[in-house]
Structure 1
């Protein structure tokens, strides 16, 4: 083949096998072209080396995962959002509303119930006042009806709805050498076991009497005597002073405390009562005070505790007489 007939081509190596491509002619194998011809024109061709079909050169297409949709928020003033579980949301809202409504109703009922119970217990837990509406009438002296009140602090041994029930417990308490008297206050019957000069002292006296295996409480009550003359009112005022002194002394001795009363004033008041001309009712009340004073004086020599308890019983009888004057 002459030089002029030599054609320019492109030499490509594919999978280790060399091939030559010409402009318009078909490709020819390397073996058909003499070596001399290939050596004469080294500059007219170049090698293209195509990568072999291997695992490293393969491109693997991985599908992109679908994007998760963000939940839509529902706010005030926004349009209604349709949800597949709209029924569940409505059920939940209704349940919450019913729970709140039911809880509010129960709370209101509980508050009203507690308020009523406290109002019902108030007369028992606080001071008790026994009063009666006085009627205008004339007595022997020609004076109008008068009244006087006595505030006292007592040890309570129970409250009962009937007098029989109160007397039954009264007998059991008195078997333990503890004084007990039944008082009717309003619509209930109370057992009182002792008296003191103030509420704190009555609490201490209650704790002392508890050692005799009795149930105790402490109370402040107001007793009122009405339908009395002016002279009787003055006498009762003197008796109230004597009662307060004797109550303080006997309760203090039982508790092992010192008294602050004045013996001179007590003696003066008792001598005054002894000199007065008293009605049968007032005379009986004064007899209870005199007996209590004698028992306290005897205790100072004998130191027998039962004498102080007996003196407390006499003071309770005086209170019952005072209450009986409430007309």
Structure 2
């Protein structure tokens, strides 16, 4: 039987806690119906016997304290909320326990913003990790040595797992159920909980916000120029000349400040404007393409799909608002 320890940190989001517990315990019910032994021993593990979550709205009674768990097979870190620095300080006593259990062979999975707690252990250094796209800039700033994967819903690297934004944690739990219990049980779980299985990409849900949480005034000026002049053909030479900065130095500073190359930033700004137009206007794809400064249909389509994971027409059909004629 696989021992699963679901952590109950301060500032946890109740949904990811209870959803995870329900899905793993439901597998045991499936096994019981088949006349088979349960596959999982599921426990809620905390630093204290009672933990307030969701800004104190709910209180969780844990099954065991961390010092009572000598060894486990899988640690699940649920989503946490609020100021991440504060949340990490409140839950810092989990860190040595997670490290110790991993050293004994335990795998570790983080759900959504739970990635911040996992990354704070240092165990993800040089490894891939997903989290909510809204936290991308903050995560990169706090954990520059972790390979943040913004497009993926699930990462799996050498016993460390992570999920993207919000309810995509359900896809990670399904993934783990399939790994531990097999495809048939995972499919049954997907049907019972009405979850779309094999969903791997969160790009269509991502809203590009830019990265302006830095102190490089010249680079902020360049970002603002790009965002105001997205219809124009903007070049690196144009921006570096405008700011009187050498090209190589400008490119280096831009990448350091924004985590994007200049051209990546230009493309992401254009595509974000295009997405909003496809969602909220009656314009067709070609009209939107011209509006954001593209003249090559193939180039626009390829860039749009690279950034969002789907084609412009697929995006429009999926997300367009109902607009009265």
TM-score by length of structure 2 reads 0.26
- Which entry has the higher C-alpha Rg, 1 or 2? 1
Higher relative contact order (CA 8 A, sep 6+): 1
TM-score by length of structure 1 reads 0.26
